[in-house]
Structure 1
Amino acid sequence: MNTNRYIRQTSLKEFGQKSQDLLLKSSVLVVGAGGLGIPVLQYLNAMGIGTLGIVEGDKVEITNLQRQVIYCEKDIGKAKLEVALEQLKSQNSGTTLIGHDTFLTPDNALTILADYDVIVDATDNFPTRYLINDACVILDKPFVYGALHGFEGHISVFNYKGGPSYRCLFPVPPEDSSIPNCNDNGVLGVIPGIVGTLQALEAVKCITAIDEVLSGKLLIYNGLNQSFYKLGFQLEPQNLVRSSLESSYEIPNCDFISEVSIEAFHKIKNKSNSWQLIDVRTKEEFTLDPLKEAINIPLSDLEIQIHKLKPQQSLYFICQSGIRSLKAVSIARNQYPDCESHSIMGGVNLWNSLIKST
């Protein structure tokens, strides 16, 4: 190894040659070589990870090019895995690159994940995230999570040294069709690059232990106002007890999370007074863009301030993009199991866009 290659890292006293050696001895699997996966792969490869695995079964499409910056126009129609491996090899010939030309399934997940130290989830759908989570719990491996929601990005680290799992944050999947992926909902090209880079940093911290990782914390990035917000969540020990994968991850459990569209909420609101709208964004977010009929209780304060709600009324939770409001429903149902609680799909982002279009 050319010692000069990584000198800008090893000269950091908090990192040093010891951390560089740990990177060289480690292996990371990135599931998905799309908008999130590409910056993860490029940075980990450049920084000197010993082994990089890639799970990807898709082909390059023209709509990928605005955010998946490793691919070029000449690559359209080619297998993403083939192109990514070629580019990464030219970037750093010292990395052992392993391609898995497939999509992750319950049949292959445990076999593929078993050979790696850290798993990075760079997918765009709920079924695969729950599959990755459950496989990592069984294999006792940490996984670095990233997700995109319009102009928002979410990052966390699950199953790290006995810490909370993905199911501690989202116990069961919401209805799969209720939260669109990037193909349906759109994404600004630079947002996946920011989120993927943060995932790469968390993977490095998992390996080198140079500082605190995002275990038990969800980092929420808002690209519109350049803000970061951390949401803490607790370990639910039963979520770390698992001996086998589910037979299928495609069938959503619609009994736990109830979601309504903004249009449906307005119809309900106009017909009845027996409802409450609770905005669980931070106070700063709410002040910048308040919802006139909502009360603001930040998600981080909801368990403490839940007594302010009226459980005899239907509760409708809203956040910026529709993700924090799902967790709010879970909290409300734990406290008031007989109360009707709903998450408003699309959040304030969609709420504002519908107002502008009318």
Structure 2
Amino acid sequence: MSDLARYRRQIVLREVGVNGQQLLRDSSVLIVGVGGLGCAAAPYLVGAGLGRVLLTDIDRVDVSNLQRQLLYRQDDVGRDKLAAATATLRALNPECQIEALAGPLDDAALLAAVRRVDVVLDCSDNFPTRFAVNRACHAARRPLVSGAAIRFEGQIAVFDLRRGGPCYACLYPDDPHADAAETCEEAGILGPVVGTIGNLQALSAIKLLLGLGNEAGTLRLWNALDSQWRTLKLRHEPRCPVCGLSRH
């Protein structure tokens, strides 16, 4: 199947075109976590024709994942998530290079992975990982698309120090007790909520790669019960331990 046949419905978009499609083909992303968020974001990025997608995770598929993590099937229960997700994504688009990075990644390995890509999607489910990803993105000067969802609530933000503005640690200071934060296992999560945020992460990544708009420094909060969005403009924290010392 030719590129034109596969991608023609987005090539016809004036904002994409043939040049934009080639740009996507020459681009790469790292998705940290192939749980609810990553399972929603990854197929849209692979389907859009990105040249390379790196995945990292540490979990195996549990039956409780199937309610919202739609890359997996009943037969995948007990299987390594990276192996299952990689197989599904390769079947979706053989033209995209899918690379699995077995976790957990230490700081050096994470930084090396971030340096290999153009955009990073934080689809993890815990604060220590989010803080580590933010530090790596800051060190490598790579844009970060951060998402989170719990219960009926979701949030998404783009942090891009190339354009100025805050980093993730400006919004959420690194707290040594953050690993005790509430989880979806305890509080619950509705599948379409996490799917919506993951889809928006993919959209934000594609817009970053194509140079469409500037969402950096904006936090969007969604309440799925009333379908209402709130948008907050974030500010750089001068005393931020990650990016504060790098400013003049």
Could you say which residue in structure 2 is the equivalent of 1:296?
Answer: none
Could you say which residue in structure 2 is the equivalent of 1:308?
Answer: none
Could you say which residue in structure 2 is the equivalent of 1:196?
Answer: 198
Is residue 7 from structure 1 mapped to residue 8 from structure 2 by the alignment?
yes
* TM-score, reference length from structure 2: 0.92
TM-superposition CA deviations, 1:238-281 (whole Å, max 9, x none): 542579xxxxxxxxxxxxxxxxxxxxxxxxxxxxxxxxxxxxxx
Could you say which residue in structure 2 is the equivalent of 1:83?
Answer: 84
Could you say which residue in structure 2 is the equivalent of 1:236?
Answer: 237
The alignment partner of 1:100 has SS state of strand
Could you say which residue in structure 2 is the equivalent of 1:39?
Answer: 40
Q: 1:160 to 1:20 in 2, by over 3 A?
A: farther
TM-aligned CA deviation for residue 211 of structure 1:
2.1
The alignment partner of 1:199 has SS state of helix
TM-aligned CA deviation for residue 16 of structure 1:
1.6
TM-aligned CA deviation for residue 112 of structure 1:
1.9
Could you say which residue in structure 2 is the equivalent of 1:185?
Answer: 187
Q: 1:205 to 1:174 in 2, by over 3 A?
A: farther
TM-aligned CA deviation for residue 149 of structure 1:
2.5
Mapped partners of 1:200, 1:150: distance in 2 = 21
Of the two, which has the highest radius of gyration? 1
The structure with more helix, counted as a fraction of residues? 2
Could you say which residue in structure 2 is the equivalent of 1:302?
Answer: none
TM-aligned CA deviation for residue 180 of structure 1:
1.1
Q: CA RMSD in A?
A: 1.7
TM-superposition CA deviations, 1:147-188 (whole Å, max 9, x none): 112110010011342331001111233732553121222101
Equivalent residue pairs, number: 242
TM-superposition CA deviations, 1:278-307 (whole Å, max 9, x none): xxxxxxxxxxxxxxxxxxxxxxxxxxxxxx
Mapped partners of 1:12, 1:114: distance in 2 = 30
* TM-score, reference length from structure 1: 0.65
Written as runs of structure 1 = structure 2, the 5 A alignment for 1:1-358 is 1-161=2-162, 162-173=164-175, 175-176=177-178, 178-213=180-215, 215-237=216-238, 239-240=242-243
Higher relative contact order (CA 8 A, sep 6+): 2
> Taking every aligned residue pair, what percent have the same amino acid on both sides?
38
Structure 1 residues without counterparts, runs of 5 or longer? 244-358
What one-letter code is carried by the residue in structure 1 that aligns with 2:186?
Answer: D
Q: 1:160 to 1:47 in 2, by over 3 A?
A: farther
What one-letter code is carried by the residue in structure 2 that aligns with 1:49?
Answer: L
What one-letter code is carried by the residue in structure 2 that aligns with 1:139?
Answer: A
Q: 1:111 to 1:242 in 2, by over 3 A?
A: farther
What one-letter code is carried by the residue in structure 1 that aligns with 2:133?
Answer: I
Mapped partners of 1:66, 1:234: distance in 2 = 36
What one-letter code is carried by the residue in structure 1 that aligns with 2:31?
Answer: V
Q: Check whether the contact 1:30–1:54 (CA below 8 A) recurs between aligned residues.
A: yes
What one-letter code is carried by the residue in structure 2 that aligns with 1:33?
Answer: V
TM-aligned CA deviation for residue 132 of structure 1:
0.4
